[in-house]
Structure 1
Amino acid sequence: MTTDAFGTAALRGAVLEAWRASPARLREDANTEEDHARGYYRDRVLVELAQNAADAATRAGVPGRLLLRLATTDDGTAVLVAANTGAPLDAAGVASLASLRASAKRDAGTGTVGRFGVGFAAVRAVADEVTVCSTTGAVRFSLADTRELLEGTAAQEAAHGRPGLADEVRRRDGSLPALRLPWPTEGPPPTGYDTAVVLQLRDEVVRDEVRALLDGVDDVLLLALPGLVEVVVDVEDAGPRRLADVTGRWDVLTAEGEVPLALVADRPVEERAARAWRVTWARPRDGSAVPGVVHAPTPTDEPCSLPAVLVATLPLDPSRRHVVPGPLTDAVLDSAAQAYAQLVGRAAAEGADATAWVPTGLAAGAVDAALRERVVAALVRTPLLVPASPQDALVPPLRATLVRDLPDGPAVTALGALVAGLVRVPPSGLAAARALGVEERALAEVVDELPTGGDVDWPALYDALDVAAQDATAREGLASLPVPLADGRVVRGPRGVVLLDDDVAGVAPRTLEVLRTWGLRVADPAVVRPLLARLGARRLDAAALLAHPALRAAVLGQADDDDLDRADEVTAAVLDVVAAAGTVPADAVAWLGLLTLDAADGEPAPAHGLVLPGGPAARLLDDRVLAPVALDAVDRWGRDVLVAVGVRDDLVVTTVPDVVAGVAPDDDADDAAALAAASLDGWADYVDELADALGAGAYCGDVPAVADLDAVDDRRWPEVLAHLARTPDLRAALVTSVRGEGTAATAPSYTAWWLRTRADLALPEVFALPGSVALPAALVPPVPEVLAGLDEEALRALGGVGSLADVPAARWAAVLDLLGPVGGVVPLDVAGPVWRAWAQGAGPDEPPAVLPALTAPGVARLVDDAVVADDPRWWQCAGAQGVAVVPVPVAPGSRGAAGVAELLDLPLASWRLGADDDLSGAGEPEDVPDALLALLPDAPAQWWRHDDLRVVGAPVGWWVTGTGTQAQVHAVHVAGLASALAWATGRWAARGAVETLLTDPDDPDAALGLALE
């Protein structure tokens, strides 16, 4: 028999009476229940049931356990059971369930969650039949029973003339407030639980929705409802799933307190007594994602972008989905921010990356924005950043500094020992660090403030920074890194610092000290690490040290220093390095020669002004110009070291770099070119010679030259010349011509030029090479006696020629001067080679003032005016009208008359004397012999015999107008006819064979010669 232990009849009667009295009240209750079931609590049935369970456990002071079971009855009805431990159902509780916004928990004290008395309405979202079973009794709510009771009551009212209730029930169309009318029932809760809510799910769609909600139950439910210690989810075909002991999987921090009364003054009356606040933050230890909403304590629709679950007693609107702004909300958010900072600080102390907890980017809503602002303000003062130095404690962002170019890594750790407040921030945490206002400094700024004194482990620091220096930006930031030097100083910046290799280790410290005064900065060997070289320090062996500007400055400085002791110190230091190097860089030879050494007589002199005793230089050079070096210097340093710095053991080659024709180095300059040129006699005149030959400004590159030629003992010239010719490097400097960039012209080497122009050797401009032929002795003398024994290549470099065609253009004027005065007769065997040379491409670089020319047929004289014969016809006109003619030999490859005329700047004969058809004298035509025509098919068939033939007034033996078979051939005699026919047919070289055939047509040799010509 069912008992009414909770007075449900009285409750029903009171509600019905109210509805009778005011049908509008029915409408209001129905609408309110529908709003909650279909709106506010449409997806919260599990959360609200869990909240009631947590409150029941809290009221009873026992651990809350909740069972959520989804099962199907025998008749196929899906049932959701929510069983819990805690305070059992009582009459007040039933009354609360049957009312709206009249919670029975008003006086339950702190710790309970429910505050509005409407959460139970969430069951109506999924069920029309609801039963609440407890150890004290049971009650049920039924939409069907409510409809039946209301319809009966409405009919009674209508019978008494009060149709209002009936009209309202009809309008509702079955949508009635089922939770307002409780009914007594029977049934115990599941074993081990004190109360159970049993919901008969409305249909299959609802069943699927509830199952999805059950699948979503997780640890967050326990975190939000601390009154629960266990939740068991039992879905019929999946088996039970137990949730408990969340603190093992979550990092949880809870703070609580009480707000001043003034902060709740604007809240509803029944909330004003609830002044206690509580905030819980929880973050999964495995770093998994968290629900991004605020829990108050059940989930709201307010987003939260922080990487932790927030459960806070924030005031909510009636829907329990949104936080209500106001002083109470501000106070709770303030407390939440402080609690969050504590949680982050605790996590950081346990080794977690605190930057992952810092909010960055845009806020997700108004509440999220307000919370993030407070959180950042709290975190700024919380020790949470990892110090760069492992020995230091966590650093609050307010006092932290990070290196912008180098936020983390071994380099930061090393710098942390020297820079206070320096922290390590992973690249992923840079945005968080900026949000916290951490001071960012460039690596260069941090490096600038590194101490240069004190106990600094420089090798460890360099090793740590070496990895970072792989990045170009970081290398720039390390530009001012302090570097301890071997002399005890500490300089800023590796650039310009020298790292000495092992082969310099034996150099005396005094040597390095001397060189230091000239700017050499040598790193302390104990701190030498690859980083220094990567940042610009120069790793030098002894040979490379010789090329260092400090050594060069020291040598040039001591050369101008009157302090002999200081000069001796520099010399000794540099010779130490040379001895260690073994070889000297080519570009250092010139300035090393300025080292001051003692001569045998005790007087100081530059190294290149001294010679080694007993060597070729001492034998060949005048000791009044280059004195022997002191013997004690030879004993101390050795011959090889002294030779390496310029002391002469033999004649040497000095290379002048980057020579430009016509440009001599400044005498006051100390560059390599100036220093090299300073040791060469007449260099300025030589570059002018290059300008004449190659053109001013022509780039000639590096020019080798034999030095000290001006110091040769005059008695030793034959020996010197022979030595030059047989010594490879000296020979190359003698015989190698200089070429200008972009031109085919060449100029003599400096050595050859100096020997020809400045040496006391009396060399002619040109001379005939041994074995040369067709070189008139009147023009080209034989090899001078001083050059006897030299090979042809050496002789050519000094002016030897094999033919007039070999005479350089600049020397033709001197050659022509040998012919004598104007008007003098020039033998044809002398003039002929000159004319042939000009036709073959040789000739003066400027038109000569006098030249050999034919003044009459067969007579050559030296004249100052002439014309150039257009071709062999005009040779016969020599002397006509008083004009001298320069004949141009006809030969393959000849430059031709026009070329010779241009070379000599003379007019052509045809231009000066007139047209080539100005013939005088009558002639008689005759046939060309058939035998000759057979061999010269392109010859004309006729020719004109003349007794007297003149052209431009001069008697000639032959003349031709036109060419080939159309030519008109005129001749006075057989020899003339042969020349004319040879010229007309282009067979000039065969004129002798033609003459022979004209005389004897049957001569087989002449015929064969002409046929083969």
Structure 2
Amino acid sequence: MTTDVFGTAALRGAVLEAWRASPARLREDANSEEDHARGYYRDRVLVELAQNAADAATRAGVGGRLLLRLATADDGTAVLVAANTGAPLDAAGVASLASLRASAKREAGTGTVGRFGVGFAAVRAVSDEVTVCSTSGAVRFSLADTLQVLEETAAQEAAQGRSTLADEVRRRDGSVPALRLPWPAQGPPPTGYDTAVVLVLRDAVVREEVRSLLEAVDDVLLLALPGLVEVLVDVEGDAPRRLADVHDRWDVLTAEGEVPLALVADRPVEQRGARSWRVTWALPRGGAPVPRVVHAPTPTDEPCSLPAVLVATLPLDPSRRHVVPGPLTDEVLARAADAYAELVGRVAAAGQDATALVPTGLAAGVVDGALRARVLEALVRTPMLVPASPQDPLVPPLRATTVRDLPDGPAAAALGAVVTGLVRVPPSGAAAVRALGVEERTLAEVVDDLPTGGEVDWPALYDALDAVALDATAREGLAALPVPLVDGRVVRGPRGVVLLDDDAAGLAPATLEALRTWGLRVADPGVVRPLLTRLGAQRVDAAALLAHPALRAAVLGQADDDDLEHAAEVTAAVLDVVAAAGAVPPGAVGWLGLLTLDAADGEPAPAHGLVLPGGPAARLLDDRVLAPVAADVVERWGRDVLAAVGVRDDLVVTTVPDVVAGVAPDDEGDDGAALAAASLDGWAEYVDHLADVLDVGAYCGDVAAVADLDAVDDACWPDLLAHLAATPALRAALVTPVRGEGATATGPSYTAWWLRTRADLPLPEVFALPGVTGLPAALVPPVPDVLTGLDADVLRALGGVGSLAEVPGARWAAVLERLGPVGTAVPLDVAGHVWRAWAAGSGPDEPPAVVVALTAPGVAHVVEDAVVADDPRWWQCAGADDVPVVPVPVAGLGDDRAVRVADLLDLPLASSQVDADVAGEGEPEDVPDALGALLPDAPVVWWRHDDLRVAGAPVGWWVVGSGPDAQLHAVHVAGLAAALAWAAGRWGARGAVEALLTDPDDGEAALGLVLG
């Protein structure tokens, strides 16, 4: 027997009476139930049942457990059972279930979720037969029973003459409010549970829908309804699925409080007492996806783009799917934003990437946009960004800075140690930091703000930034990087900073201070790193330091400084650098010689004006010109250092760079050429001499020269010459000629030129090398005694020649002068040397005042004027009309040596000055046939003369024309042989021709003369 423990009869009677009194009330209740069941809650039956279960557990103060079971009843219908623990059903609860918008949970602060009494109406979406079984009793709701009662009630009214209710029931066509009429029922809930809602599912379609809803039940249900600690899903045919211990899989943060009364003033009366608010955020620890909707606490249709589950007591509209805008919503969203920021802070503190939780992009809706704005506002004050320096705490975005295009790594960590608020952001977090308004700066801006004081680990910073500087853009950003200097200052920008190598790092403090005063920015050795070089710092060793313009300027400045103390400081600093370098760059030799040192007599003098005691320079040079350096200076710095800066231990070779013939360096200049040339006596005259030899403007490159020759002791010249010849560097500067670019001739070295023209040495213009044959003493004198013992190369540099062809053009005048004055007879063998040299191309640079010429056949004299024989025919005309003839040995027809000699001596050719008409009659004769094989192109006829004259002079032969048609004239066999050889172009074969003419039968002998 069913017992009506909840007074359902009274409830039904009251409702039926109300419907009878006002059929419109029936219509209103039916529409309302239909809206909630089939509209608002069409897909929320499980959520609403779970909400009621959570409220029951909360009221009972126990952890709620919920069973959701889908099974098949004995009659084949599908049944959904939702059983829960907690407070059992009571009369008030039944009344609430049977009413819409009249919840039994009115009191605020109870911790329950349901408040409006409409959630239970969701069961009508899937069932027409609903039973609620509890340990306190049972009640059921039935669409069929409700229709039956209404039909009976309508029939009673019809009997009484009223049909209004009957008309309304007829119009509803079976759609009546089944949940308004409760019926007593019986049956306990499942074992272990206090209450169960049993739903007979309407049809197979509904069964599948419910099955899908059951499969979708997950942790979010427990997160949204904290009153539940367990949900057991039991679907017929599947293994039961238990959801519990949700905090093991989610990071959950809950905040709650009470809103001011003013914020609920515009809410409905039933809701004004509900001033408590509660916000829960949950993040899946495994990175599982989260539903992107707002829960209030059940899911709404309001999208939420934040990557966490939000459960908040937001006010909803009657459909419970949308948040109602207003002050209360704004307040709860603000609390939710604060709670979310706190959760993000916890995530960051746990070492996870918090930027993934920052909302970026566009909002998904109005509520989402309002929430995101408040979240960003809260996050900017939340310590959540990872500091670039590992020792620093988390940084709130409000005080954070990022560096554009700076990769996360050692560089960021190193900068973070000196830049406040610098944070590390993974590439995926770029949009997040922009949304948070984090200050983004360029690397150049950050570098500009780096401190130049305080404790900064510069080496570590440089090492960390080195990899970044591989990029050209990054190098520009690092241009203002601070660099500590050795004097304690910190300057901005490596460019122009000097990094000392190991050999220079040990310079004395006074030297380093001097370098600073000279304008060198020397980096502290402790901070020297490859990065500084990459950014433009100049890495130098001591030798490179000597080449630095600052040192050169300091030395040149002290040379003109009357402050001896300052000059001594400069000298000490420079000598310290030279000692560290061990060698002096070639370009520094000239100006280093201007360093002021103390001489042995205590007087200051430039380094290049002093000598080292006991050395070759002290032995060979006059101490009145170059004094010895003070002994204490030698003791302090050593001979090698002093010699390196120009103090003479030996004679030194000075190299003058970029020499141009005829152009002397500016005496007032301080460039390398001017300084080098200033130490060389007569340099201006020497380059003028080069211009005479090589042409003005000829580029000669670098010219090496032995310095201080003007300081040689007069008694030491033989020793000096021997020393020059025996010392390789000095010897090279003596014997190496100067070559002009594009010039065919060569000029003497400066050393050779000076010794020949300015030294007090008895050197002739030209002299014969020892052992040379074929050079008559009448033309070239022997080696002077002062040069005895020197080798041939040295002697050549000083004027020695092995033949007349080696005589320089400028010295030919001296050779001719040795032959004597005009009119002096010259032996033919001596004159022949001169003529052969001229024919070979040797000769004076300018036409000589006198020449050696034939004044008669076989007779030579020194003459002032002459003509040059065009060919051997003209040798016979010497003395004709008192015209001397210069013979020119030639090979035959077409040889232009005569023309070249005429140009060399500036003399006319004989053919242009003498009438070459042949005088006298001759008898024609045939040329012997025997000559045909030897001279096939020779004429076959010649003219014999008893007396043959040309230009009034008797000659032995003459030829007019050439080749087979030439006219041959001769007075004897030798003349005929010469004429035939010349006409046939075989001048060298004239001896063989003469032999064949003498004995036509002895052809072999003639052939031997030709071949021999």
Could you say which TM-score interval applies, normalised by the shorter chain? 0.7 to 0.9
- Counterpart residue identity of residue 726, structure 1: A
Aligned to 1:623: 623
Indicate if the aligned counterparts of 2:334 and 2:374 stay in contact, CA closer than 8 A.
yes
Aligned to 1:232: 232
**Aligned-residue offset at 1:724:** 0.6
Distance 1:300 1:880 in 2: 141
Distance 2:904 2:670 in 1: 46
Distance 1:692 1:157 in 2: 150
Q: 1:609-637: per-residue Cα shift (whole Å, max 9, x none)?
A: 11223322122111221122233433444
**Aligned-residue offset at 1:711:** 0.8
**Aligned-residue offset at 1:727:** 0.7
Once the two structures are superposed, the pairs formed by residues 591-630 of structure 1 within 5 Å of their partners are 591-630=591-630
Distance 2:810 2:256 in 1: 111
Indicate if the aligned counterparts of 1:867 and 1:912 stay in contact, CA closer than 8 A.
no
- Counterpart residue identity of residue 992, structure 1: G
Indicate if the aligned counterparts of 1:664 and 1:684 stay in contact, CA closer than 8 A.
yes
Q: 1:442-476: per-residue Cα shift (whole Å, max 9, x none)?
A: 666666666666xx545x45335432244323796
Aligned to 1:718: 718
Q: Does 1:1003 align with 2:969?
A: no
Q: 1:301-347: per-residue Cα shift (whole Å, max 9, x none)?
A: 54444343332334456665554554444333322222223333444
Greater shift, 287-296 or 194-203, is seen at 194-203
Indicate if the aligned counterparts of 1:848 and 1:904 stay in contact, CA closer than 8 A.
no
Once the two structures are superposed, the pairs formed by residues 27-38 of structure 1 within 5 Å of their partners are 32=35, 36=39
Q: Does 1:481 align with 2:470?
A: no
**Aligned-residue offset at 1:896:** 4.9
Q: 1:495-534: per-residue Cα shift (whole Å, max 9, x none)?
A: 6666767767876655555665445666667777777777
- Counterpart residue identity of residue 375, structure 2: V
**Aligned-residue offset at 1:728:** 1.0
Matched residue SS, 1:753:
helix
Q: 1:96-119: per-residue Cα shift (whole Å, max 9, x none)?
A: 7788x7463673645444567665
Distance 1:126 1:898 in 2: 136
Aligned to 1:753: 753
**Aligned-residue offset at 1:730:** 0.9
Distance 1:888 1:152 in 2: 164
**CA 1:84–1:613 in structure 2 vs 1: closer, same or farther (change >3 Å)?**
same
Greater shift, 701-710 or 552-561, is seen at 552-561
**CA 1:601–1:61 in structure 2 vs 1: closer, same or farther (change >3 Å)?**
closer
Distance 2:386 2:338 in 1: 20
**Aligned-residue offset at 1:676:** 2.6
**Aligned-residue offset at 1:725:** 1.0
**Aligned-residue offset at 1:801:** 3.2
Distance 1:69 1:327 in 2: 41
Once the two structures are superposed, the pairs formed by residues 550-569 of structure 1 within 5 Å of their partners are 551-569=551-569
What TM-score results when the alignment is normalised by the length of structure 2? 0.79
Indicate if the aligned counterparts of 1:504 and 1:577 stay in contact, CA closer than 8 A.
yes
Indicate if the aligned counterparts of 2:969 and 2:979 stay in contact, CA closer than 8 A.
no
Matched residue SS, 1:341:
helix
Indicate if the aligned counterparts of 1:610 and 1:647 stay in contact, CA closer than 8 A.
yes
Distance 2:1006 2:182 in 1: 154
Indicate if the aligned counterparts of 2:873 and 2:957 stay in contact, CA closer than 8 A.
no
Aligned to 2:465: 468
Indicate if the aligned counterparts of 1:925 and 1:943 stay in contact, CA closer than 8 A.
no
- Counterpart residue identity of residue 703, structure 2: V
- Counterpart residue identity of residue 647, structure 1: V
- Counterpart residue identity of residue 945, structure 1: W
Distance 2:790 2:360 in 1: 90
Aligned to 1:63: 63
Distance 2:830 2:207 in 1: 132
Distance 1:235 1:213 in 2: 11
Once the two structures are superposed, the pairs formed by residues 277-316 of structure 1 within 5 Å of their partners are 277-285=277-285, 290-316=290-316
Indicate if the aligned counterparts of 2:38 and 2:124 stay in contact, CA closer than 8 A.
no
- Counterpart residue identity of residue 601, structure 1: D
Indicate if the aligned counterparts of 1:69 and 1:80 stay in contact, CA closer than 8 A.
yes
Aligned-pair identity (%): 72
**CA 1:306–1:163 in structure 2 vs 1: closer, same or farther (change >3 Å)?**
closer
Q: Does 1:972 align with 2:969?
A: yes
Once the two structures are superposed, the pairs formed by residues 911-926 of structure 1 within 5 Å of their partners are none
| RMSD (CA atoms) | 5.6
Indicate if the aligned counterparts of 1:885 and 1:909 stay in contact, CA closer than 8 A.
no
Indicate if the aligned counterparts of 1:766 and 1:807 stay in contact, CA closer than 8 A.
yes
Once the two structures are superposed, the pairs formed by residues 626-705 of structure 1 within 5 Å of their partners are 626-690=626-690, 700-705=700-705
Aligned to 1:993: 992
Indicate if the aligned counterparts of 1:150 and 1:169 stay in contact, CA closer than 8 A.
no
Q: 1:793-824: per-residue Cα shift (whole Å, max 9, x none)?
A: 22222333333443456656776777788999
- Counterpart residue identity of residue 466, structure 1: D
Distance 2:529 2:888 in 1: 78
**CA 1:620–1:342 in structure 2 vs 1: closer, same or farther (change >3 Å)?**
same
- Counterpart residue identity of residue 137, structure 1: A
Greater shift, 547-556 or 642-651, is seen at 547-556
**CA 1:495–1:785 in structure 2 vs 1: closer, same or farther (change >3 Å)?**
same
Distance 1:489 1:942 in 2: 102
Name stretches of at least 5 consecutive residues in structure 1 with no aligned partner: none
Greater shift, 372-381 or 127-136, is seen at 127-136
Q: Does 1:137 align with 2:138?
A: yes
- Counterpart residue identity of residue 614, structure 2: G
- Counterpart residue identity of residue 106, structure 2: D
Q: Does 1:251 align with 2:251?
A: yes
What TM-score results when the alignment is normalised by the length of structure 1? 0.79
Matched residue SS, 1:648:
coil
- Counterpart residue identity of residue 593, structure 1: G
**Aligned-residue offset at 1:927:** 6.8
**CA 1:52–1:161 in structure 2 vs 1: closer, same or farther (change >3 Å)?**
closer
Indicate if the aligned counterparts of 1:520 and 1:550 stay in contact, CA closer than 8 A.
yes
**Aligned-residue offset at 1:925:** 8.5
**Aligned-residue offset at 1:708:** 0.7
Matched residue SS, 2:602:
coil
- Counterpart residue identity of residue 649, structure 1: D
**CA 1:527–1:924 in structure 2 vs 1: closer, same or farther (change >3 Å)?**
same
Once the two structures are superposed, the pairs formed by residues 341-356 of structure 1 within 5 Å of their partners are 341-349=341-349, 354-356=354-356
Q: Does 1:735 align with 2:735?
A: yes
Indicate if the aligned counterparts of 1:307 and 1:357 stay in contact, CA closer than 8 A.
yes
- Counterpart residue identity of residue 378, structure 1: A
Q: 1:368-414: per-residue Cα shift (whole Å, max 9, x none)?
A: 44333322322333444556777766554444556668687667777
Indicate if the aligned counterparts of 1:463 and 1:529 stay in contact, CA closer than 8 A.
no
Greater shift, 398-407 or 331-340, is seen at 398-407
Distance 1:337 1:557 in 2: 73
Indicate if the aligned counterparts of 1:402 and 1:440 stay in contact, CA closer than 8 A.
yes
Name stretches of at least 5 consecutive residues in structure 2 with no aligned partner: none
- Counterpart residue identity of residue 589, structure 2: V
Distance 2:152 2:833 in 1: 154
Indicate if the aligned counterparts of 2:611 and 2:649 stay in contact, CA closer than 8 A.
yes
Indicate if the aligned counterparts of 1:84 and 1:194 stay in contact, CA closer than 8 A.
yes
Matched residue SS, 2:940:
strand
Aligned to 2:770: 770
Distance 2:458 2:538 in 1: 19
**CA 1:504–1:109 in structure 2 vs 1: closer, same or farther (change >3 Å)?**
closer
- Counterpart residue identity of residue 798, structure 1: L
**CA 1:892–1:743 in structure 2 vs 1: closer, same or farther (change >3 Å)?**
farther
- Counterpart residue identity of residue 946, structure 1: W
Distance 2:857 2:18 in 1: 160
Distance 2:415 2:625 in 1: 63
Once the two structures are superposed, the pairs formed by residues 99-178 of structure 1 within 5 Å of their partners are 102=101, 104=103, 107=106, 109=108, 111-114=111-114, 133-135=133-135, 136-137=137-138, 139=140
**CA 1:923–1:275 in structure 2 vs 1: closer, same or farther (change >3 Å)?**
farther
**CA 1:106–1:551 in structure 2 vs 1: closer, same or farther (change >3 Å)?**
same
Aligned to 1:790: 790
**CA 1:785–1:175 in structure 2 vs 1: closer, same or farther (change >3 Å)?**
farther
Distance 2:749 2:993 in 1: 51
- Counterpart residue identity of residue 617, structure 1: A
Distance 2:104 2:865 in 1: 141
